[in-house]
Structure 1
């Protein structure tokens, strides 16, 4: 299985972090893989995300 993780918190839908407000871009600080394939990613907020335009 391939998983793609996009580090951004977006507006509507089921809240993971209640009441967070506007979209927040995240920067990957550290990543670890454990023997059974579990991964841990540590992110820090970096302000508002930049979105591509068409």
Structure 2
């Protein structure tokens, strides 16, 4: 992967999904807890790569 992936999980199995992503420790995957946090991180990453 050449681009980061920003993930925000919510719902019935969100906790399990977060644990799976954390255990995978993939450097491109960034977890955030809110939609606002996801938008801010996406904007920051886009600005940094411009």
For the aligned pair, the TM-score class normalised by the smaller chain equals under 0.3
* TM-score (normalised: structure 2): 0.24
Which has more helix, going by share of residues?
2
Bigger radius of gyration: 1
Higher relative contact order (CA 8 A, sep 6+): 2
